[in-house]
Amino acid sequence: MKVSIIGAGNVGATAAMKIAADGFVNEVVLLDVKEGVAEGKAMDIMQSLMMTDSNTIVIGTTGDYSKTANSDVIVITSGVPRKPGMTREELVGVNSKVMTMVLDGATKYSPDAIFVVVSNPMDTMTMMAVNYLGKENWRKVIGMGGMLDSARFEYNIRMKLYAHYGLGKYDIVAKVIGGHGDTTMVPLVENATVNGKPLTSFFTDEEIADIVEKTMKGGAILTKMLGTSAWEAPAQGICETVKMIAFDENIPVASSVYREEYDLCIGTVVTIGKDGIEGIFTMKLSDETKNKYNASVEAVRNVNSAL
Ligand code: NAD
């Protein structure tokens, strides 16, 4: 399997490292517009692989899309991240221009690839890719964001369990659907479980509200701490998405996908396998959650209208 990552910044280069270190693909190509950066990152990653069992080859290129030819998966992490105080939606102008350039270059050499879109505002950038490839090819476009937001939801649950009970082994299942934005994401509290039990078995209403708030602001909290947006967990989300394609895993995860009924891309519980999006889960939601999801759909539509 060949994976090309367009944008060798914090998220792209870290994803390359994680994918290469896991050794499940033959080749990773990193492409960036900044002279020498992708080549340097690729060389550094390759040298680190020499200390592992991985046989993956990582190469870097400054803008030469022919090196990405015949990729099975193209990951798009190019563009600008947010700075403290910014929303993801504010990036739409600059990143949509980058997106058009990247789609032109990548599809020329890998017309049949599955696209994993990461650049923000992610739901809108994912819709751009769907429009570019044609809506009939929607299964080949996966927006990575819901997996990260779900991991942040699970993290906040985990840390509260730790505060209450200390160390322990917990099976936490918690998903976030809706838009990948501070105010648009919808953590599915009613479906979240710890060792098969609902959150109400472990936490008060106030504690659950705190978990939800910290999940929704998770990206902004980290951006304030780091001065730029986070990269380790986003890169892990990319690595897991590529693995689901490589191993035809088909386990339920939250990702942004094209939903015909709304005519836009939005976080949905889906299964991902060798052909991209394999299935869409229609979940039983309370009226309150349905209303939040519908509001999220309209918020994403509003950002899409800025294109
Ligand atoms: P970064 O600034 O570290 O890296 C971005 C890279 O893109 C830079 O190296 C830049 O040179 C490159 N680039 C710019 N224009 C390009 C072009 N036309 N072609 C190829 N490369 C180009 O930023 P980052 O922290 O890696 O974040 C990348 C993007 O991912 C941002 O838009 C950020 O908001 C987004 N992000 C999304 C998620 C998510 O969950 N979906 C999580 C974190 C970050």
The structure tokens 């280069």 sit at: 13
Of 180, 187, 194, 211, the active-site residue reads 180
Q: For residue 66, is pLDDT > 90?
A: yes
Q: For residue 292, is pLDDT > 90?
A: yes
180 is catalytic: yes
Q: Which CATH superfamily is domain 2-145 in?
A: NAD(P)-binding Rossmann-like Domain (3.40.50.720)
Q: Is the CB of 79 under 6 A from ligand 1?
A: yes
Tell me which of 77, 104, 108 to substitute to probe ligand 1's pocket, judged by most ligand atoms within 8 Å of the beta carbon: 77
Residue 247 tokens read as: 């191993």
* Structure confidence at residue 110 as a pLDDT band (50, 70, 90): very high
Q: Is the CB of 34 under 6 A from ligand 1?
A: yes
Residue 61 CA to ligand 1 center (angstroms) comes to: 16
Query: What average pLDDT score do residues 31-47 get?
Result: 98
Dmax (CA) for the chain in angstroms is: 56
Extents of the domains making up the chain: 2-145
Residue 69 tokens read as: 């030819």
Considering only CA atoms, which residue is closest to atom 30 of ligand 1?
119
* Structure confidence at residue 29 as a pLDDT band (50, 70, 90): very high
pLDDT above 70 coverage of the chain, percent: 100
* Structure confidence at residue 210 as a pLDDT band (50, 70, 90): very high
pLDDT top residue among 168 and 74: 74
Q: For residue 86, is pLDDT > 90?
A: no
CB 7 within 8 A of CB 68: no
Q: What is the pLDDT of residue 82?
A: 84
Residue 95 CA to ligand 1 center (angstroms) comes to: 9
Q: What is the pLDDT of residue 134?
A: 98
pLDDT digits (tens, 9 = 90+) for 248-274: 999 999 999 999 999 999 999 999 999
pLDDT top residue among 88 and 196: 196
Q: What is the pLDDT of residue 43?
A: 98
- For the chain, what is the mean pLDDT? 97
Q: How far is CA 232 from the centre of its chain?
A: 12
pLDDT digits (tens, 9 = 90+) for 136-188: 999 999 999 999 999 999 999 999 999 999 998 999 999 999 999 999 999 99
Atom of ligand 1 nearest to the CA of 149: 40
Q: What is the pLDDT of residue 216?
A: 97
Atom of ligand 1 nearest to the CA of 147: 40
Q: Is the CB of 307 under 6 A from ligand 1?
A: no
Give me the sign of the Cα torsion angle 299, 300, 302, 306.
positive
Query: What average pLDDT score do residues 201-210 get?
Result: 98
Q: Under 8 Å CB-to-CB from 178, ≥6 apart: which residues?
A: 184, 185, 186, 266, 267, 292, 293, 296, 297
Considering only CA atoms, which residue is closest to atom 28 of ligand 1?
77
Q: What is the pLDDT of residue 87?
A: 87
Q: What is the pLDDT of residue 65?
A: 98
Give the whole-angstrom CA distance, residue 304 versus residue 256: 14
Query: What average pLDDT score do residues 229-255 get?
Result: 97
CB 284 within 8 A of CB 62: no
Q: What is the pLDDT of residue 231?
A: 98
Q: What is the pLDDT of residue 213?
A: 98
